[in-house]
Structure 1
């Protein structure tokens, strides 16, 4: 089976098998778990020798898996643009190029988010009206259909970018979480119109004209309460909010284990503690989410991901392709920007 060919109904997913803290073992095992669910051809992109060692016990002729050689890995901490120039055949670059060339339908990486953004912009380009890709999604399981965008890829934003986040988040909530007419809100220091910094105030006016179901400003409490399906903020605020949530879950898990041991069995206390952690660590449960605003399906996951999270990210890639997410986003972005420009 080649990367160009796949049975009808199968989604070809190019997997950056060298990206992430637990690569390549977790990536290969995750791919095996993902293909077990059917409908996926896994294209493992990475060092050929290392990957062949990982699958030596398998008969690949009977599995929808193919190894695609690459040369080099871009790691967290490296300057993405410089690294891409120095390593043009790095695994994330080759995986994304497969999507550009039509040899894969989606790409998945647990490696450097900066590298994924850079190569996606260069290889796939951004959709009309989008300056830079963004990341967004639910961050609290207690509010599972509340999308926060941006989560860290754009720390300095112009008001027009926040408008794009609102459009992207609305399509994300509708397509991925089946929310009809999602409520879109700006995260601010007060709910009243006129509250917030200059960026928020100017974005407020743009969102009012957008035709989205814009409900105005909301505060931090409203995010957890699920009082909007789309929460718009710049990546500086969004990333702090997400990591605060994740950190709180980890700390509370340990605290609850100690506090409940005198009242519950060890097993019951551990169940409660794990549940609290899961409520504040959505990415661990989802595996990853789409890089939003690029002209192709690219899924970015957590660098610490184990095989189970990798498999979920690969299944997410299939779902994004199956529902035509990128095409829907392209159409909605065009509609909103025409309305605001009129």
Structure 2
């Protein structure tokens, strides 16, 4: 790592509110100090947004790109068709050593593909993984994976456990994070074949494995890392977000006229935010890649962008990629048959 400010490349064109909210978030993050940011995007458009802020003298530069990979585009095809797209240029700056990490609020698939192709994957990793806290009542419980790997072998779930443990140690200062498998029952032998075989592998390999956990136990903080394939993890995350939005709307409707409007709005917003952590807190790092790439929520606004940049900074300063590689190597040595 180099001395001096941490250098972050930010995809200015990615996300529902780009580039306006992205630029605003970058300015706020840089004003906190210790950062240099390259805003990657259409120079004319990004420059116009930057001029709306009193950003003179701030260490922000505009890095030209051409095109955006949108949500819904086939990532592998888009990477070939749009080689100068903003997410590719931002990720490329990390690969070239011109940035210490990159951040996007745009397409998760594009960010994953760019990280895998440009940065490369750690040994033993098939695809990047994405995970972190998704339930506000348990803000120190990371669920991994939350949608990037839908069909997983037990060995992949073991990798998720290692990657999630490194995440929990770095971001929450937990020396030995507790790891659990998300299943339909807490008893040994419960679950489908995938979970049963993974449980046996975890028992042999992970001293911090505490067994299975059911979804209703996630809000209680009974584990630091809850491991699931991306199909299950994404359902948990989306259900939590939907319940938060629905309950917030119901509470606002029922309390209207019974409490002052500002109190109703505050309570509804708190319920929504507690159940939409990814949107509120910015996003999380792609795990299992040889570098720092943080993917934020597409609906995230300026404060979420600022937080996502802070996550990238923390990931770089804590050597997230190097620590993951070291821990994966230990697992391969302890259980070579799972590699």
TM-score range, shorter chain: over 0.9
Alignment correspondent of 2:36: 41
Alignment correspondent of 1:285: 280
Deviations 1:39-61 (A, max 9, x none): 11010011112112222356866
Alignment correspondent of 1:114: 109
Task: Give 1:276 deviation, angstroms.
Answer: 1.5
Aligned-partner Cα distance in 2 for 1:231–1:113: 21
For residue 272 of structure 1, the aligned residue among 255, 267, 270 is: 267
Aligned-partner Cα distance in 2 for 1:213–1:79: 38
The yes-or-no answer on 1:202 pairing with 2:206 is no
Deviates more, 1:135-144 or 1:279-288: 279-288
Alignment correspondent of 1:320: 315
Q: Secondary structure at the match of 1:295?
A: coil
Aligned-partner Cα distance in 2 for 1:31–1:74: 21
Alignment correspondent of 1:3: none
Q: Secondary structure at the match of 2:205?
A: coil
Preserved CA contact (<8 Å) 1:184 1:212: no
Q: How does 1:121-160 map to 2 (within 5 A)?
A: 121-160=116-155
The yes-or-no answer on 1:215 pairing with 2:210 is yes
Preserved CA contact (<8 Å) 2:279 2:299: no
Task: Give 1:263 deviation, angstroms.
Answer: 3.7
Task: Give 1:129 deviation, angstroms.
Answer: 1.7
Aligned-partner Cα distance in 1 for 2:256–2:13: 41
Number of matched residues? 337
Deviations 1:239-283 (A, max 9, x none): 010010001011111111122235422222222222221221111
For residue 304 of structure 2, the aligned residue among 302, 309, 315 is: 309
Aligned-partner Cα distance in 2 for 1:224–1:17: 34
Aligned-partner Cα distance in 2 for 1:143–1:57: 38
Q: How does 1:4-19 map to 2 (within 5 A)?
A: 8-19=3-14
Aligned-partner Cα distance in 2 for 1:132–1:79: 16
Aligned-partner Cα distance in 2 for 1:210–1:285: 35
Task: Give 1:62 deviation, angstroms.
Answer: 1.4
Aligned-partner Cα distance in 2 for 1:7–1:101: 14
Alignment correspondent of 1:228: 223
Deviates more, 1:288-297 or 1:19-28: 19-28
Deviates more, 1:257-266 or 1:313-322: 257-266
Q: Output the aligned Cα RMSD.
A: 1.6
Deviations 1:12-34 (A, max 9, x none): 00011111111111111111011
Preserved CA contact (<8 Å) 2:280 2:300: no
Alignment correspondent of 1:256: 251
The yes-or-no answer on 1:23 pairing with 2:7 is no
Q: Secondary structure at the match of 2:129?
A: coil
Preserved CA contact (<8 Å) 1:16 1:108: yes
Q: Which runs of 5+ in 2 are unaligned?
A: none
Alignment correspondent of 2:74: 79
Preserved CA contact (<8 Å) 1:143 1:224: yes
For residue 181 of structure 2, the aligned residue among 186, 204, 218 is: 186
Preserved CA contact (<8 Å) 1:210 1:337: no
Deviations 1:276-329 (A, max 9, x none): 212211112211100111110000001111111111111111111111211111
Preserved CA contact (<8 Å) 1:167 1:212: no
Aligned-partner Cα distance in 2 for 1:57–1:249: 34
The yes-or-no answer on 1:331 pairing with 2:304 is no
